[in-house]
Amino acid sequence: MNLAIDVASGEKPTEELVGGAIKSLFLNDDVNLILVGKEKSILRALSKLKYDRNRVDIKHTNQIIDMNESPAAGIKHKKSASVLIAARLVSNKEAEGFFSPGNTGATLAAALTEIGRLKGVMRPPLVSTLPKISGEFCMMDMGANVDCTPDYIAQFAVMGRVFAKRFLKIDNPRVGLLNIGEENSKGNAETKKFFERLEKLKKINFVGNVEPNDMLKSDLADVVIADGFNGNIVLKTMEGTASLMVNLLKTEIKKNPISIMGGLMMKPVFNSLRNQMSSDSVGSAILLGLNGGAFVGHGKTGGNGVKNAVLNMYNFLDAKINEKIAKELYDSGVKRRIF
Amino acid sequence: MNLAIDVASGEKPTEELVGGAIKSLFLNDDVNLILVGKEKSILRALSKLKYDRNRVDIKHTNQIIDMNESPAAGIKHKKSASVLIAARLVSNKEAEGFFSPGNTGATLAAALTEIGRLKGVMRPPLVSTLPKISGEFCMMDMGANVDCTPDYIAQFAVMGRVFAKRFLKIDNPRVGLLNIGEENSKGNAETKKFFERLEKLKKINFVGNVEPNDMLKSDLADVVIADGFNGNIVLKTMEGTASLMVNLLKTEIKKNPISIMGGLMMKPVFNSLRNQMSSDSVGSAILLGLNGGAFVGHGKTGGNGVKNAVLNMYNFLDAKINEKIAKELYDSGVKRRIF
């Protein structure tokens, strides 16, 4: 399976991203890579590594869309930006999926314009797997569609169910709606409309409203649905709280010698915690419902993040989730895009 | 200053709540307490404590509104529920403020119906002080008004500014709008309208959009404004993430003997962290813009939480924040309630 990796965007140097991508080759024999970026930088990074040359291709470009650039302007004016080339490899069927840790808006736009939506899909949602006390769950939309109608939300539920079944291997996944109370009547005007629509869906194991604290602390749902605004608020609040706590911990540890010693002894624990909460683990997200794989990484994605993204992308594409989504949207009776 | 404390609602036993309330007497000579709940239980708790009897009064009631009860039904049918009696003490001017750790909806409803809004206030917002890496900031609305108009949001900004100045002692506080991106054009349709309105406000140091991760990790704003739906989502996501991280830490610590030892040595650190992130510290919120003080506690509020609530309530009321809000709403030129 060919996968395209944009190693030019993102905050980390090309060398680190190439190194992470190459590591994935040793963990999955079926993966081949197309690295997109400055050929010189990529070759320099590769020259330090041992790997099977037949499994790695390079697509050269000098252009990137910056982190702070307007996605619309970038997509319009930089036709050979690395993220567009990576997405184009998917639309040309040279790759089955692409990954970029660059400008999120540009990555979403590149995926939508180059790869396009599956038949019937109204708005592709960004799905993330998130940690909870007992394992993991998935949540969508994490930020692709800030204003949603009940019809989009119904489609997200159908897509989320397929994702949870095939990617998280959960049988008859429980689908919940992000809300500020458990009771059916809770929420703002919009959420109440979402609830009404989800309640009517057949073939969905809808478990009602789920509060964000319970979603993380308990085991109430396998799929949590929200509009892209609220999903993004949750994602960024989680990130901020985790950073804040690590920082408070560091400050407290420094206050006395015994806890400094204790802190040193717990270094592996902190590293593991950092891994579980880091953008390398929770930062990457998949745009569901396209004619190919589109993986969006956090700008801070490092080598480990790219490695995980490649392996996850393989698992996602191997499970034929998008193909299954097209069928399920049809079978579920939700409103579909007809134009 | 007389303060009414509902020691009958909440998840913790009356004894613990009474104990916490009494502790506050030793930390502030100007506080007198009116404890509301079952007289027998209160007297039993008091009999074990040393304190100045002249500073504590009891209002007996057998009725409480349960955590899971409908607030509207509770307020309507249980006329002598502890939370209503506590609020009524404020409207009768027997107390300047009240605190309840019970059913949040019922506490808000009791405050609104018994104490009532200040002249001109459209919707009283719930304000919380939250930790950030460099100290603390305040955020509102944390859940009292799930559907907001730009006019409510403008009022929140005026009220938030007064609160930050007088309660957090911040000169010319920076007011930000909760959003999923920094740029002026970011957000969903509703947030864009909020932005437009806030931008036009005179006398407010509006610093634009603030993302929830940056709000916690950086030092961008002293007041963050959101509608009650998003504010509540943020609060509950913070709580869930903190719980999740503590749990992951515990699990990781148990994995090897060295980190178990390290963990023991760090016990004071964990305790301090728990205190900083616990519902006793971040869980209580103030309903701004009423004709008296209304403090809403987390159901899990324990003795320490009540003690902190009493001391905070004194500081809040002593700073004459509500009185100042009435004046500032008038001076700021925002739309005011005229009926």
Q: Which of A224, A130, A135 is nearest to A176 (CA)?
A: A224
pLDDT at A265: 79
Using the Cα atoms of residue B148, residue B153, residue B159 and residue B165 in order, give the sign of their dihedral.
Answer: positive
**Contacts of residue A284, Cβ cutoff 8 Å, sequence gap at least 6:** A99, A128, A295, A296, A297, A298, A301, A305, A308, A309, A312
Please state, in angstroms and rounded to a whole number, the distance separating the CA atoms of residues B184 and A172. Answer: 42
pLDDT at B257: 81
List A residues 237-276 in contact with B (Cβ-Cβ < 8 A). Answer: 237-245, 247-249, 252-253, 255-256, 258-259, 261-266, 268-269, 272-273, 276
CA dihedral B305, B306, B311, B314 (to 10 degrees): 130
Tell whether A217 is within 8 A of chain B (Cβ): yes
pLDDT at A279: 55
Tell whether A27 is within 8 A of chain B (Cβ): no
Ranges in chain B, pLDDT < 50:
none
Using the Cα atoms of residue A318, residue A322, residue A323 and residue A324 in order, give the sign of their dihedral.
Answer: positive
Chain A residues close to B277, C-beta within 8 Å? 245, 248
Q: Which of A205, A185, A204 is nearest to A195 (CA)?
A: A185
Please state, in angstroms and rounded to a whole number, the distance separating the CA atoms of residues A333 and A317. Answer: 25
Q: Using CB atoms within 10 A of its CB, is residue B63 exposed (0-12), middle (13-18) or buried (19+)? A: middle
Please state, in angstroms and rounded to a whole number, the distance separating the CA atoms of residues B277 and A241. Answer: 10
Chain B residues close to A229, C-beta within 8 Å? 180, 187-188, 191, 230
pLDDT tens-digit series, residues B82-127: 999 999 999 999 999 999 999 999 999 999 999 999 999 999 999 9
Chain B residues close to A191, C-beta within 8 Å? 229
Please state, in angstroms and rounded to a whole number, the distance separating the CA atoms of residues A300 and A12. Answer: 7
| Nearest-by-Cβ selection for B245 from A180, A237, A273 | A273
* Min distance A265 CA to chain B CA atoms (Å): 5
A147 in Cβ contact with A229 (< 8 Å)? yes
* Min distance B250 CA to chain A CA atoms (Å): 9
Q: Which of A284, A264, A282, A286 is nearest to A274 (CA)?
A: A282
In a mutagenesis test of the B interface, which of A129, A178, A237 is the best target, namely the one with the most B β-carbons within 10 Å? A237
| Residue B70: closest C-alpha in chain A | A183
pLDDT at B282: 53
User: A12: which 2 tokens?
Assistant: 């980390």
Reported ipTM: 0.92
**Contacts of residue B184, Cβ cutoff 8 Å, sequence gap at least 6:** B195, B199, B208, B209
pLDDT at A97: 98
Chain A residues close to B244, C-beta within 8 Å? 131-133, 216-217
pLDDT at A283: 53
B334 in Cβ contact with B138 (< 8 Å)? no
**Contacts of residue B187, Cβ cutoff 8 Å, sequence gap at least 6:** A146, A229, B179, B180, B181, B194, B195, B209
Q: Using CB atoms within 10 A of its CB, is residue A58 exposed (0-12), middle (13-18) or buried (19+)? A: middle
Task: Report the predicted TM-score, pTM, of the whole model to 2 decimal places.
Answer: 0.93
| Nearest-by-Cβ selection for B229 from A133, A188, A277 | A188
Q: What is the mean pLDDT of each run of 10 residues along chain A (339 residues)?
A: 97 96 97 98 97 98 93 93 98 97 94 95 95 92 96 98 96 97 93 97 95 94 98 94 86 80 77 66 81 92 92 96 94 86
